[in-house]
Chains A and B, each alone.
Chain A
Amino acid sequence: MKRLLRILLLPCALVLLMGADNQEARFQNLGGKIMCTCSCDQMLLKCNHVGCPNSARMIKELRANVQTISSDEEVLNWFRKNWGVTAVVEPSRHGFELLAWILPVAGLGFGLLLVLFVVRSWKLRTAPVAAADAVLDPHLESLRARAQRETEI
Chain B
Amino acid sequence: MPLLGSFCLNFALVLSVYTFVAGIIAAVRKDAFGFRLAETARRAGMASFVAVLFAAGALVYAAMTNDFSVAYVKEHSNVALPAAYKFAALWSGQEGSILFWCLLLSAYGFVLRLRHKVDQRLVAMASVILAAIQVFFLILVTFVARPFNVMPVAAADGNGLNPLLQYPEMVIHPPLLYLGYVGLAVPFAFGLAALIMRYPGEKWIQITRRWTMVAWLFLSIGIALGGHWAYNVLGWGGYWGWDPVENASLLPWLSTTAFLHSVMMQEKRGMMKVWNAWLVFFGFMLSILGTMLTRSGMVNSVHAFAQSGIGPWFAGDYGWTGTPWRSLPYAYPGFLELIFAVCLFFYLKNKDHLKSENNLESLVSRESSFLFNNLVLLGACFAVLCGTLFPILSEWVRGYKITVGAPFFNTIMVPIGLFLVFLTAVGPLLAWRSTSFASVKRAFAVPALISLIVEVTLIVVWIRSGIKFWRDISQIYSLLAFCLSTLVTATIASEFIRGGRVLKNKLNTNLVFAMYHLTRRNMRRYGGYIVHFGIVVLVVGVAGLAFNQEQEQEMAVGDKLQIGHYMLVGQEYTQDDNANYRSEAALLDVYKDGKFLTRLNPERRVYKANGGQPNTIPAKWSTLREDLYVIYAGLNPDTGHPIIKAFVNPLVNWVWIGVLIIAFGTGLSLVPNAAQIAVKAPQTATVAAVEKQAMQPAGVGK
Decide: A153 and B264 in contact? CB cutoff 8 A: yes
Partner of B401, one of A35, A86, A148: A86
Contacts of A43 in B (CB 8 A): 406
Check B359 for interface membership: any CB of A closer than 8 A: yes
Partner of A153, one of B268, B356, B416, B452: B268
**Docked complex Cα distance between A11 and B455 (Å):** 8
Decide: B402 and A91 in contact? CB cutoff 8 A: yes
Listed residue (A49, A50, A125) with the most chain B CB atoms within 10 angstroms of its CB: A50
Decide: B412 and A115 in contact? CB cutoff 8 A: no
Check A58 for interface membership: any CB of B closer than 8 A: no
7 A-B pairs within 8 Å (CB atoms) are namely A4-B445, A20-B470, A28-B472, A85-B402, A111-B379, A122-B356, A150-B695
**Docked complex Cα distance between A35 and B406 (Å):** 11
Decide: B407 and A90 in contact? CB cutoff 8 A: yes
Known: A89-B407, A96-B394, A149-B695. 6 other contacts (CB 8 A): A1-B441, A25-B472, A107-B383, A114-B375, A119-B360, A152-B695
Contacts of A64 in B (CB 8 A): none
Contact code string B381-416 (vs A, CB < 8 Å = 1, else 0): 011001100100010011011111111100110001
Check A15 for interface membership: any CB of B closer than 8 A: yes
Contacts of A38 in B (CB 8 A): none
Check A69 for interface membership: any CB of B closer than 8 A: no
Which B residue sits closest to A153, measured CB to CB?
B525
Partner of A89, one of B359, B406, B455, B472: B406
Q: How far is the CB of B77 from chain A (nearest CB, A)?
A: 27
Decide: B402 and A86 in contact? CB cutoff 8 A: yes
Check B456 for interface membership: any CB of A closer than 8 A: yes
Which size bracket describes the interface of B in this complex? 35 or more
Which size bracket describes the interface of A in this complex? 35 or more
Check A129 for interface membership: any CB of B closer than 8 A: yes
Which B residue sits closest to A151, measured CB to CB?
B522
Decide: B407 and A49 in contact? CB cutoff 8 A: no
Q: How far is the CB of B406 from chain A (nearest CB, A)?
A: 7
Q: How far is the CB of B622 from chain A (nearest CB, A)?
A: 21
Give the 4 A-B residue pairs with the shortest CB-CB distance, closest first. A89-B405, A18-B470, A104-B383, A108-B379
Check B480 for interface membership: any CB of A closer than 8 A: yes
Q: How far is the CB of B365 from chain A (nearest CB, A)?
A: 11
Contact code string A2-13 (vs B, CB < 8 Å = 1, else 0): 001001100110
Contacts of B398 in A (CB 8 A): 96
Contacts of A62 in B (CB 8 A): none
With A15-B479, A119-B363 already in contact, the answer to whether A49 and B552 are too (CB < 8 A) is: yes
Check B471 for interface membership: any CB of A closer than 8 A: yes
Decide: A50 and B636 in contact? CB cutoff 8 A: yes
Check A42 for interface membership: any CB of B closer than 8 A: yes
**Docked complex Cα distance between A110 and B476 (Å):** 28
Decide: B636 and A129 in contact? CB cutoff 8 A: no
Q: How far is the CB of B214 from chain A (nearest CB, A)?
A: 19
Check B464 for interface membership: any CB of A closer than 8 A: no
Check B633 for interface membership: any CB of A closer than 8 A: yes
**Docked complex Cα distance between A50 and B394 (Å):** 34
Decide: B387 and A152 in contact? CB cutoff 8 A: no
**Docked complex Cα distance between A101 and B412 (Å):** 8
Which B residue sits closest to A133, measured CB to CB?
B358
Which A residue sits closest to B637, measured CB to CB?
A51
Contact code string B350-393 (vs A, CB < 8 Å = 1, else 0): 00000010111101000010011001101100110011001000
With A21-B471, A49-B634 already in contact, the answer to whether A123 and B402 are too (CB < 8 A) is: no
